[in-house]
């Protein structure tokens, strides 16, 4: 039995409420690879009996979601990932069949709410452009990374330094930084500080004035761009057409960052990643903007 | 007991906003006003997280489906109060 199956079984056996079950699934979903999600689906399928499985209904919902995500265009097992290591606030993945001759690139993800890029880790990884790459997924979202990564860094600056040292130690170049919602502004600033060639921000967070006062390091994108004197080169912003404030935030950012590109996701609210993944457009857009900025990954 | 301030904190943590994009804060309940859930941007993920937080903080096991069946934040606060008072 795989480690993931053991963790899944422990979670479902210990859970006494739906919320505890959901919490164990979410925690697992935030660190697993596409192949591991397929293993979980198989395990759930094998015990799909409402008479003997207390969590039959919830697991059926999970399997339906797995089917929908994994059948979407752009979802691929072709360039699968393995987890190199996992800590409370960070997980490092790398692609399998790693091309030793390819540039050693690091992609850094600043997750937002629920410690995810708006979708489970296995969904996001499966839509990434198929290149040899290491992926560092960070979890410190709801406080906008102000308090750092538990166990790894004490504040935002030391988080950036920790990423820089990790990349240096492994001989990796920070190629791309992405952030979603509460992780967007930290991703923007970290991407600039780390010299990333590409930055993708999914749904800039709605940050109020008092939050800016509490988190002066992050602030909003306009203030952040003023501080780093950026014009938005290599920057792609995503916003949902149905979220008026996000659209307004992106429009304001665009005025400040004239070289930035904007993708408005039709029909999407604040969560822009999930509808893109479900409709098979996430991989397409990441490919498009990865290749068109400067030079292709491969 | 008035649990609205705690509910507001948890909603902020779960990235729940109003549909117009304003922050969820205590001013939403000024002068005894109540806030319809339909005026908040709560997707399935946020609802799930909100339920997990409610259970962790108050020991109140409410499912996302049950949560979204409430009409207003005040209704949630009253149900929470009833649970805690039991």
pLDDT at A68 over 90: yes
Does the residue B13 lie in any domain?
Answer: yes
- Whether A124 and A273 have beta carbons less than 8 Å apart is answered as yes
Does the residue B29 lie in any domain?
Answer: no
Determine the pLDDT at residue B33.
65
Cβ-in-10-Å burial (0-12, 13-18, 19+) of B43 comes to middle
Q: How far is CA B85 from the centre of its chain?
A: 18
Chain B residues in contact with A18 by the CB 8 A cut-off are 51, 61, 63
How much is the CA Rg of chain A, to the nearest whole Å?
19
Determine the pLDDT at residue A9.
82
Determine the pLDDT at residue B26.
67
Most B-contacting residue of A15, A18, A139 (CB-CB within 10 A), to test interface: A18
Does the residue B75 lie in any domain?
Answer: yes
Which residues lie below 8 Å from residue A211, measured CB to CB, with a gap of 6+? Answer: A144, B23
Range of the domain at B43: 4-20+34-85
- Whether A127 and A74 have beta carbons less than 8 Å apart is answered as yes
A48 closest CA partner among A57, A40, A39: A57
pLDDT at B80 over 70: yes
Determine the pLDDT at residue A298.
44
Q: Which chain A residues touch B if contact means CB-CB below 8 Å?
A: 17-20, 22-23, 26, 112-114, 118, 142, 181-182, 205-206, 208, 211, 243-246, 248-249, 269-271, 274
Tell me if residue A81 falls in helix, strand or coil. strand
A22:B51 CB<8 A? yes
Architecture of domain A81-292: 3-Layer(aba) Sandwich (3.40)
Between the CA of residue B7 and those of A16, A239, A282, B63, what are the distances in Å? 24, 27, 34, 16
- Whether A176 and A268 have beta carbons less than 8 Å apart is answered as no
Determine the pLDDT at residue A264.
96
**B21 CB within 8 Å of a chain A CB:** yes
pLDDT at A230 over 50: yes
Of all residues in chain A, the percent with pLDDT exceeding 70 is 90
A206 closest CA partner among B29, B73, B3, B40: B40
Interfacial B residues in 52-81 facing A (CB < 8 Å): 52, 54-55, 61-64
- Whether B17 and B51 have beta carbons less than 8 Å apart is answered as no
A127 closest CA partner among A257, A284, A2: A284
CA dihedral B66, B69, B72, B76 (to 10 degrees): -10
pLDDT tens across A80-108, in order?
Answer: 899 999 998 999 999 887 677 777 899 99
Determine the pLDDT at residue B58.
92
- Side by side, the strands of the sheet bearing A134-138 are A81-87, A90-95, A134-138, A105-110, A173-180, A198-202, A235-240, A261-265
Chain A residues in contact with B41 by the CB 8 A cut-off are 243, 269-270
Cα atoms in the 13 Å half-sphere on the side-chain side of A293: 21
Specify which residues A201 forms β-bridges with.
A179, A237
pLDDT tens across B5-62, in order?
Answer: 888 888 877 877 665 555 666 666 665 667 888 878 787 778 888 999 999 999 999 9
Determine the pLDDT at residue A297.
47
- Region of A280 (left: φ > 0; alpha: ψ -120 to 50; beta: rest) is left
Specify which residues A82 forms β-bridges with.
A94
Domain boundaries defined on chain A = 3-71, 81-292
pLDDT at A244 over 50: yes
- So what's the ipTM on this one? 0.73
Chain B residues in contact with A267 by the CB 8 A cut-off are none
- Region of A88 (left: φ > 0; alpha: ψ -120 to 50; beta: rest) is alpha
Determine the pLDDT at residue A87.
92
Dist. CA A37–CA B71, nearest whole Å: 36
- Whether A222 and A204 have beta carbons less than 8 Å apart is answered as no
Pick B50 or A77 by higher pLDDT.
Answer: B50
Provide the domain count of chain B: 1
Determine the pLDDT at residue A278.
93
Specify which residues A229 forms β-bridges with.
none
Q: A102-106, A188-192, A199-203, A259-263: lowest mean pLDDT where? A: A102-106
Does the residue B40 lie in any domain?
Answer: yes
pLDDT tens across A114-140, in order?
Answer: 889 999 999 999 999 878 899 999 998
Tokens 């117009």 belong to residue: B20
Q: A174-188, B38-52, B60-74: lowest mean pLDDT where? A: B38-52
CB count in 10 Å sphere of residue A172: 19
pLDDT at A23 over 80: yes
- Measure the N-to-C terminal CA separation of chain B; round to a whole number of Å: 13
Tell me if residue A171 falls in helix, strand or coil. coil
A113:B46 CB<8 A? yes
pLDDT tens across A248-261, in order?
Answer: 888 888 888 889 99
Dist. CA A235–CA A290, nearest whole Å: 10
Tokens 């170049």 belong to residue: A173
């Amino acid at each position: 039995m795989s480690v993931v199956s053991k963790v899944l079984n422990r979670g479902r056996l210990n859970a006494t409420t739906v919320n505890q079950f959901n919490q164990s699934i979410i925690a697992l979903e935030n660190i697993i690879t596409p192949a591991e999600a397929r293993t979980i689906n198989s395990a759930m399928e094998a015990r799909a009996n409402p008479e003997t499985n207390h969590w039959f209904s919830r697991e059926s919902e999970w399997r339906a979601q797995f089917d929908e995500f994994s059948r979407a265009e752009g979802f691929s097992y072709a360039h699968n990932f393995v987890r190199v290591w996992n800590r409370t606030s960070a997980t490092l993945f790398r692609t399998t069949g790693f091309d030793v001759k390819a540039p050693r690139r690091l992609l850094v993800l600043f997750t937002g709410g629920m410690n995810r890029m708006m979708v489970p880790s296995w969904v996001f990884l499966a839509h990434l452009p198929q290149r040899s790459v290491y992926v560092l997924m960070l979890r410190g979202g709801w406080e906008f990374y102000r308090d750092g990564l538990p166990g790894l860094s004490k504040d935002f600056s030391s988080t950036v330094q920790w990423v820089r040292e990790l990349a240096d130690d492994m001989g990796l170049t920070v190629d791309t930084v992405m952030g979603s919602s509460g992780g967007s502004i930290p991703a923007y600033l970290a991407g600039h500080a780390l010299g990333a060639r590409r930055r993708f921000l999914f749904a800039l967070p709605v940050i109020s004035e008092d939050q800016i006062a509490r988190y002066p390091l992050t602030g909003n994108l306009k203030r952040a761009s003023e501080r780093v004197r950026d014009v938005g080169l290599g920057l792609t912003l995503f916003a949902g057409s149905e979220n008026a404030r996000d659209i307004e935030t992106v429009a304001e950012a665009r005025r400040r960052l004239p070289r930035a590109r904007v993708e408005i996701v039709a029909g999407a609210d604040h969560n822009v990643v999930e509808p893109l993944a479900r409709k098979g457009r996430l991989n397409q857009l990441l490919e498009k903007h990865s290749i068109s900025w400067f030079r292709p990954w491969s | 007991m008035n649990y609205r301030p705690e509910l507001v904190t948890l909603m902020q943590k779960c990235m729940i906003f109003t549909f117009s994009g304003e922050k969820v804060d205590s001013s939403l309940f000024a002068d005894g006003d109540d806030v319809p859930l339909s005026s908040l941007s709560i997707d399935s993920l946020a609802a799930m997280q909100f339920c997990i937080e409610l259970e962790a903080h108050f020991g109140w096991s409410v499912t996302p489906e049950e949560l979204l069946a409430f009409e207003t934040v005040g209704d949630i606060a009253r149900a929470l109060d009833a649970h805690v008072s039991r």
